[in-house]
């Protein structure tokens, strides 16, 4: 039984998950050790590893270091097709369905398909939706695609529905790393009510209370990167908040 099965089971039972995002370019070995210790203690559910500008040589090492020291599953969250490592447990196979850049919808997938298949990784087809986070983020710039405006809940809803009907197994809504404004609960609620597949939410989340409210609004997985890099103690607080959401929420 793969990791995706676990995502679905957790959603069915109403259990919320917390994922710590690690950008291999921003962490050295000591920092990884620190994040590892804090994440294990806080019962973090997943590590997401990747970033828009990752230089892949350090990617393997970073994942090996994580895998050697704990049982927390590592999912690749690639910013480019070169960010594939056989040491991870699964790959979020992202298609940027909020944008109209054919390269990120299908082009890069075609080029990297044999390589991805050969990796032996569990592949999770993910409808990736970038939502305007109040200021240009790296992802909005690099993707060369317009994010969904933060208040266009219907567009987000229809995009997620289309993604699900096209066969995506996950929807990941992202305001972009370090976003000024995180995705609103109204949008999360609207989207989550119209899809059956698990919903991942990230970008600009800096407080446990916001993580909690996002889960109540229908998020299944909360991803935090930036805020944790600045204050690793937040791992414990956000994990506790996410895991304290009543299972029938």
Burial of 210 by CB count in 10 Å (0-12 exposed, 13-18 middle, 19+ buried)?
Answer: buried
- DSSP H/E element including 172: strand 170-174
23 is in an annotated binding site: yes
By the rule CB under 6 A, 226 interacts with ligand 1GP: yes
By the rule CB under 6 A, 238 interacts with ligand 1GP: no
By the rule CB under 6 A, 225 interacts with ligand 1GP: yes
By the rule CB under 6 A, 204 interacts with ligand 1GP: yes
Cα separation, 131 vs 151, whole angstroms: 9
Cα separation, 120 vs 209, whole angstroms: 38
Selected binder of ligand 1GP within 159, 177, 184, 214 (CB under 6 A): 177
> Which residues in 15-34 contact ligand 1GP (CB under 6 A)?
21
Cα separation, 235 vs 185, whole angstroms: 21
Q: Residues 114-153: x/- map of binding to ligand 1GP (CB under 6 A)?
A: ----------------------------------------
Strands 17-22 and 221-224 turn out to be parallel
By the rule CB under 6 A, 88 interacts with ligand 1GP: no
| DSSP one-letter code for 107 | I
Selected binder of ligand 1GP within 178, 213, 232, 243 (CB under 6 A): 178
Cα separation, 6 vs 36, whole angstroms: 21
Tell me the three state secondary structure of residue 72.
coil
Cβ of residue 79: shortest distance to ligand 1GP, in angstroms?
9
Residues near ligand 1GP, by CB under 6 A: 21, 174, 177-179, 202-205, 223-227
**Binding-site residue ranges for sn-glycerol 1-phosphate:** 172-178, 203-204, 225-226
């Amino acid at each position: 039984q793969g990791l995706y099965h676990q995502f679905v089971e957790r959603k069915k039972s109403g259990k919320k998950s917390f994922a710590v995002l690690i950008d291999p370019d921003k962490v050295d070995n000591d920092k990884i050790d620190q994040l590892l210790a804090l994440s294990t203690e806080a019962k973090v559910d997943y590590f997401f590893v990747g970033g828009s500008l990752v230089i892949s040589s350090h990617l393997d090492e970073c994942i090996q270091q994580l895998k050697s020291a704990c049982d927390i599953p590592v999912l690749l969250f690639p910013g480019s097709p070169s960010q594939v490592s056989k040491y991870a447990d699964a790959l979020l196979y992202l298609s940027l369905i909020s944008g109209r850049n054919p390269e990120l919808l299908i082009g890069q997938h075609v080029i990297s398909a044999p390589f991805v298949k050969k990796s032996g990784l569990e592949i999770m087809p993910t409808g990736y939706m970038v939502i305007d986070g109040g200021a240009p983020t790296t992802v909005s710039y690099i993707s060369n695609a317009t994010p969904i405006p933060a208040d266009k809940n219907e567009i987000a809803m229809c995009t997620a529905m289309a993604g699900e009907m096209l066969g995506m197994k996950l929807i990941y809504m992202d305001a972009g790393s370090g976003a000024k404004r995180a995705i609103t609960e109204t949008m999360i609620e609207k989207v989550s009510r119209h899809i059956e597949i698990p919903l991942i939410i990230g970008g600009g989340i800096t407080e446990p209370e916001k993580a909690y409210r996002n889960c109540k609004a229908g998020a299944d997985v909360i991803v935090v990167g930036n805020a944790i890099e600045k204050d690793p103690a937040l791992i414990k607080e956000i994990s506790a908040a996410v895991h304290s959401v009543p299972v029938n929420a």
